[in-house]
Amino acid sequence: MNTKSTTDKKSGAGERPLRILYSFPHTLGRPGISTTAFHQVRSLIDAGFAVTVHCTSLAADLTGAARVVETMVTADRRVPHRAIGVRRAYGYHDWRTARELATHPYAYDAVHAWPRGCIRTLDTARRIGIPGLREVCSPHSRSACAVAEQEAAACGIELPRGHAHRGTAGHLRREDDEYAMAGRLLCPSDYVVRTFTEHGVSADRLIRHAYGYDPAHFFPTDIPPAPARPFTMVFAGRGEPNKGLHYALRAWRDAGTPGELLICGVIMPEYRASLGELLHQRGVRELGFVDDLGALFRSADALVLPSVTEGSALVTLEAAACGCVPVISDACGAPTRHLVDGLVHQATDTAQLVDHIKLLVNDPATLAKLRQGCLDARGDHTWDSAGNRLAEIYREVTRPQLPLGAVPAV
């Protein structure tokens, strides 16, 4: 276990900064959810919070954190989760974080924990009486797994063992236990909130926050799209049934679009076989993994993402920030406003998606209007904006609650 001390941070004049124990059972600062977690921590530090971070290892600079504890690093070497077993690694991280909390019960004002390595930590927070919040970066697991498995079956395949949405009984029970143990659940979209209320979770335990994008990497070009360039649409995501690539390919075929559909991301082998000739139709081109999505979005007209279940797809924010119009389903968990800064269809409705693609292709004025809508809203969806919301949440949940009818002392 490694512990790193960093420099002091700012705090409000005359005020003790709120002390947050932030627990992330993965390497912090890598692509994917690790980037999301990193930006959350960075924003809390910038807001003046005293943040102690427990992660399995650190891959980015966290100057300003009160302390960083790397629970899966020994002798300056990272121990991979698989070296001791993935579930055991999560459990060890959880045990180390819970022990820190139990040993120093008055050192923290709140706990922010991520899935899989959090149940002991959240239980300890509850026992010592401080707010314990769990990140729910995906819809309710029972909802997400049921929808993803149903969609896979509709494609004639079965999700492989170990897939995040293959809901084994043990996995679903653990998720239910984590939901129950948390004082509050942090939901990044209205879609996520809805899946939890549909599964009986009280609305007063659900807090809406948001994710964001990095304006240093995702920004528009100063040059408007060239009229002579063919219409270009991008699909960016894992190639698997719940991301709805089959709906995008069918809609592209049915719209008879004269242009290019660029597919970014690795396609699951079983799913690839089910897509068949859809992948070989006119205008469809696979790019595989793309390092610089920002540059790709700046060269395209629209992003298509017909997901059937999603927490809050970061690519929708990143594309819009580049002026690439989101054409997405209502299950993407995105803040996209229909006919304002994007087009939103009902999940699985291919006919509606066909109409939206045709609208952008045949009506350049609408495409230009939606692109401008994306650019006008850029400032609302940065990681700084998301961080401000998260800071508000922590100030709210740590505020002393007065008994009903009590009058605050003056």
**What are the domain boundaries of the chain?**
2-212+384-397, 231-382
Distance from C-alpha of 325 to C-alpha of 319, rounded to nearest angstrom: 7
Amino acid at 35: T
Residue 346: what pLDDT? 98
Residue 16: what pLDDT? 87
For the entire predicted model, the pTM comes to 0.91
Distance from C-alpha of 248 to C-alpha of 241, rounded to nearest angstrom: 11
Lookup: tokens for 155: 């494609």
Residue 4: what pLDDT? 56
Q: Are 176 and 122 in contact (CB under 8 A)?
A: no
pLDDT per residue, tens digit, the chain (410 aa), is: 565 544 344 444 457 899 999 999 999 999 889 999 999 999 999 999 999 999 999 999 999 999 999 999 999 999 999 999 999 999 999 999 999 999 999 999 999 999 999 999 999 999 999 999 999 999 999 999 999 999 999 999 999 888 888 888 889 999 999 999 999 999 999 999 999 999 999 999 999 999 999 999 999 987 666 666 799 999 999 999 999 999 999 999 999 988 999 999 999 999 999 999 999 999 999 999 999 999 999 999 999 999 999 999 999 999 999 999 999 999 999 999 999 999 999 999 999 999 999 999 999 999 999 999 999 999 999 999 999 999 999 999 998 754 444 444 43
Q: Any idea how long the chain is?
A: 410
CATH 3.40.50.1980 at 2-212+384-397, yes or no? no
- Chain position carrying tokens 């002991």: 120
Residue 1: what pLDDT? 52
Lookup: tokens for 306: 């017909």
Q: Is 231-382 in the same CATH topology as 2-212+384-397?
A: yes
Lookup: tokens for 409: 């002392």
CATH of domain 231-382: 3.40.50.2000
The 10 Å Cβ neighbour count of residue 109 is 19
Query: Mind giving me the DSSP string for 325-368?
Result: EEEEETTS-----BTTTBEEE-TT-HHHHHHHHHHHHH-HHHHH
Residue 12: what pLDDT? 44
Distance from C-alpha of 67 to C-alpha of 357, rounded to nearest angstrom: 49
Residue 163: what pLDDT? 84
The 10 Å Cβ neighbour count of residue 180 is 11
Q: Which of 36, 43, 23 is nearest to 97 (CA)?
A: 23
- Chain position carrying tokens 């996209």: 336
SS3 for 166? coil
